[in-house]
Structure 1
Amino acid sequence: MEIIRNLVQSLVIIIILAMFLEMLLPAGEMRTYVKMIMGLLVIIAVVQAVGSIARWSFEEMPAVVTGAGDGRGQLPEILETGRKISARQQELGIEQYRQGLARQVTALVNLNQELPVLDVEVNVESESGKPGFGQIKEIILTVGENPEQAGPEPEGEKLVDNVTPVTVQVGSPGTPDKPGAVNPKAVAGIVGVLTNFYNIKPEQVKIIYN
């Protein structure tokens, strides 16, 4: 029973490590070598488990299937637990990866002082079965008015608290004519930086004017 548990834990660790390496490494031949190495690690883990089971006596073998005399099979429960752990670890890994990308995008856009960014959201492909697993699907930037471009507040007038956000798809025709809005050249510049840095299309970058 302990051998099966150790085997499942080893396989879960190897799978999680392979997913992280696949997300971090660029597309190319390096991924092929990583997959080959991970496959060898899986084979070694299975062979070690089989060798340990082979050393058991014949009387101890039924305990693997039927459990410790309670008549209930524990192997399916262990496998199900391993799948749940793997799925949970994958979700946590994707979330941490997405947050890391958001912080990286924030640092890049902050290099341009003309673009006052209020919030950054990054959406990635989270389904491991798809070819683009871990790749960026969309970057959403929420920007406000540039204080240097916005005009002075007239005396006696009260600022409006609730402003309806305006979403603009980069690359689509038309830009909202808003007084004091950010410089379109600054927006185009940061979009160019993001598309070149992450190798994505301009349509994958969305700007929300708040």
Structure 2
Amino acid sequence: MDLRIRNPRAAAFSLVLAVLGGTVLVLGLLTDDALPPPPQTEALAWENVPAPSPSAKPARSAGKGLRRSAPARLEISAIGVSTPVTAIGLRRDGTLDVPPLRSDAPAGWYQGSPTPGEPGPAIIVGHVDTARDGPAVFFRLRELTAGDVVVVLRSDRTTARFTVTKVASYLKKAFPGDEVYGPTPTPSLRLITCGGSFDRARGSYRSNIVVFARAIP
């Protein structure tokens, strides 16, 4: 059998293709965690976000603040967010429920927490993205920085304003429930979404992004 290369140009081209193929394979392995969830696992994208149990709701402190009134709209100009807010509760397993998994879904206020403007931490969550539709309401939440302003329009037509104090990422298996949901002496706000690397086997992100904010007097 004659294995000699008869066409040097063809041989060189084959070598280039082989190198490119290897490079693409390596890049695929390096960036696999950053890929969005495959469609068949999309429903798991918000899997097991910890929340207080119904018997251990976030305490409402006795400090000064607004009367209780459900949030109607959330505005964060720094990242281009302007969304209605819907009320959500807990799942049977005690984890936080979420709005429908769509890119146009609104943010969700956990109705077991104080309303924005009341003393204590108001909890609002939103999706980061979906496999089918791409970026969702809190896609840019991780871009917020200390000093950014968050505005919540309430059902009684009053407004609660907050300033961001911290943005943090926590592994879901090490979520600091006491820090996020624990009582505060003044009105505060927690914005939560998914983040970090993506676990394709489970169809969910490994971490949560949490924005901490305090009321602007």
Give TM-score, length-normalised by structure 2: 0.25
The structure showing larger relative contact order (alpha-carbon pairs under 8 Å, at least 6 residues apart) is 2
Larger gyration radius, structure 1 or structure 2? 1
Greater helix proportion: 1
